[in-house]
Chains A and B, each alone.
Chain A
Amino acid sequence: MTMPDGWEMVVGLEVHTELKTNTKMFCGCANTFGADPNTNVCPICLGLPGSLPVLNVRAVELAMAIGTALHSTISPSTFHRKNYFYPDMPKDFQISQYDLPINAGGYLDLPDGSRVSIERAHLEEDTGKSTHLGGSGRIHGADRSLVDYNRSGVPLVEIVSGPDIRSSAQARTYAAELRGILIATGASDGRMEEGSMRIDANVSVRRSGEALGTRCEIKNLNSLRSLTRAIDFEAARQVELIEGGGTVRQETRHWDENLGSTSTMRVKEEADDYRYFREPDLVDLAPDQAWQDRVRDALKPMPAERRAALKGRLANPNPALLDALEVVIDLGLDSYVIAALDAGVEPDLAFARAANEIASDLDGVGNLSAESYVATLRMEQGGDLSATQAKSVLAEILANGGEPASVAQSKGFERLASGALGEVVARLIDENPDEWARYRAGDEKLAQFFIGQVMKLTKGQANGKDVIAELQTRR
């Protein structure tokens, strides 16, 4: 969306990412998604009387890694209690960093060349999860709610950007790039659909050149698509409101993906008095230089660097290739692609099989070595495997492991002897005289028709290039 003439939107994002630790922030309960309710709980994350928090070292290091990747200053920090009563919060306060966050300042450079400043990236604990019964299943109109504390105490880092974003597209790019960074640092799996990365957007509008307008906070945007749509909707709503003589009220708004609109969730109240004070059960955090250096040295290359490295391998990348490249960067599949390129695999193939086949079974990457990936692609490129067969071999290895040659053999994938292929092609020419005539007259699209038919008859065993060669000899 473009803003109406003379208007500008001002957006800052608060991204909450759950940290991919083994255990919760302050206790030894497993940090997992999808367990039966209230099975990953202990006295600490249930806030039982007498229990005390002890900080998870891995959460600290992941927070430091995020800060390092975002060019923040890793600083001595403290924990505070944010006090408010809410049933999904077992202690009725949240332990969070307040005036002294572990990561202060920083910036993120986007692929489009723009820079978004980072105000802070601090540690805090997640709350439990409520299910609402009766009514629509949303909180309003429900009769009663049920609380599961499995998520209570899961470590979060909240990354707060400056109000530097000027379009929904830029917001999307920022969120996507940040997601890549979170994955690259090992801090997060970036799975927005599971809530492991949640975005709140602060949106305001102003007439160009004027002071910042009143902002509204849109909560819990759980996909990049929601983010884009919600920002556009909200900016348009505010412009319309102001142009109609109204004023924007500072409030928290809820994005409804189905309605495609935002609505008031809660107005900032005078009663919002969180009585922050230092968490007396935790001590200060002051990572020394050696600790910071260890975290920095362990950091893998960030998306921007990897993107540049991969692009450097491509002479004239087409849009499809660039899309595949983004998927590869996003999912961290660079090593497969680089190994394939090094082995002389064509870029289109090297990127496509990673961006499609590996991407569709990420849980299986442990089963697929770069060597196996390269070997499979070389068999495909050399004609020993058809495209269908190569995909099938990769899927099998991702699912169950194995070596490409033996997997291909066990599946009965042998190159169709050229005599056998010739017979199939000859038969198809006989059965499809019209198509053959048009192909002979120069309609190259018909080649795909014949390849498709051959694949059908050979159950995918044939190699497309071999088919074309057979067609050519008969043309």
Chain B
Amino acid sequence: MPGLKREDVAHVAKLARLTMSESELDKFTVQLGQVLDHASDMNALDLDGVVATAHPFGLINVVRDDEVRPGLDHDAVMAMAPDAQDGRFAVPRILGEAP
């Protein structure tokens, strides 16, 4: 595997919505690199044909009936909001459209 670069860490921080100081970028580049290096023992394996497991037990078709259940009281919901207006959650301006 290619070694983890500082630019990668900066890019990941942006994706994860975290601001990193220069020193944090340096530190995380080293620390994440160590974990990824340790994980390189996996890359030595021939895993072609091995099925990925996303879930320990193979349950299928777990569904519920289409029946309405009481939700949360509106006031209780809005009481959680850091900022609200007109019964809605308020946020500062949104710069871009949703993808």
Direct contact, A vs B (beta carbon within 8 Å):
yes
A residues contacting B by CB (< 8 A) are 21-23, 27-30, 36-43, 45-46, 54-60, 78, 84-89, 127, 130-134, 139, 142-149, 219, 252, 254, 265-266, 271-275, 277-278, 280, 282-287
| Contact present for A55 and B62 (CB under 8 Å) | yes
Chain A residues contacting B94 (CB-CB under 8 Å) are 87, 130, 132, 139, 142, 145
Instruction: Out of A39, A144, A285, name the residue touching B91 (CB < 8 Å).
Output: A144
Q: Give the Cβ gap from A221 to chain B, nearest Cβ, in Å.
A: 15
| Contact present for B60 and A283 (CB under 8 Å) | yes
Instruction: Out of A41, A54, A59, A134, name the residue touching B77 (CB < 8 Å).
Output: A41
Cα of A275 to Cα of B14 in the assembled complex, Å:
13
Task: Using known A-B contacts A21-B66, A39-B74, determine if residue A144 contacts B54 with beta carbons closer than 8 Å.
Answer: no
| Contact present for B77 and A145 (CB under 8 Å) | no
Q: Give the Cβ gap from B34 to chain A, nearest Cβ, in Å.
A: 22
Cα of A287 to Cα of B62 in the assembled complex, Å:
11
Task: Using known A-B contacts A56-B63, A84-B99, determine if residue A147 contacts B89 with beta carbons closer than 8 Å.
Answer: yes
| Contact present for A38 and B91 (CB under 8 Å) | no
Q: Which of under 10, 10 to 19, 20 to 34, or 35 or more describes the interface residues of B?
A: 35 or more
Task: Using known A-B contacts A36-B74, A131-B88, A147-B88, determine if residue A286 contacts B61 with beta carbons closer than 8 Å.
Answer: yes
| Contact present for B87 and A23 (CB under 8 Å) | no
Chain B residues contacting A46 (CB-CB under 8 Å) are 72, 77
Task: Using known A-B contacts A87-B91, A144-B91, determine if residue A23 contacts B66 with beta carbons closer than 8 Å.
Answer: yes
B residues contacting A by CB (< 8 A) are 14-15, 17, 54-55, 58-72, 74, 77-78, 85-94, 96-99
20 A-B residue contacts at CB 8 Å? A23-B69, A28-B68, A28-B70, A37-B86, A40-B71, A41-B71, A54-B64, A55-B63, A58-B66, A143-B93, A144-B91, A145-B90, A147-B89, A266-B96, A273-B15, A277-B54, A278-B55, A280-B54, A283-B59, A284-B59
| Contact present for A283 and B55 (CB under 8 Å) | yes
Q: Give the Cβ gap from B58 to chain A, nearest Cβ, in Å.
A: 8
| Contact present for A265 and B88 (CB under 8 Å) | no
Chain B residues contacting A28 (CB-CB under 8 Å) are 64, 67-71
Cα of A143 to Cα of B61 in the assembled complex, Å:
45
| Contact present for A37 and B62 (CB under 8 Å) | no
Chain A residues contacting B92 (CB-CB under 8 Å) are 144-145
| Contact present for A85 and B99 (CB under 8 Å) | no
Cα of A25 to Cα of B63 in the assembled complex, Å:
10
Instruction: Out of A57, A87, A144, A145, name the residue touching B63 (CB < 8 Å).
Output: A57
Instruction: Please give me the residue from chain B that is nearest to A267 by CB atom.
Output: B96
Instruction: Out of B58, B61, B88, name the residue touching A285 (CB < 8 Å).
Output: B61
Instruction: Please give me the residue from chain B that is nearest to A288 by CB atom.
Output: B61
Cα of A36 to Cα of B90 in the assembled complex, Å:
16
Known: A29-B71, A145-B92. 10 other contacts (CB 8 A): A27-B69, A29-B69, A37-B88, A39-B87, A56-B64, A57-B65, A87-B91, A147-B88, A275-B15, A284-B59
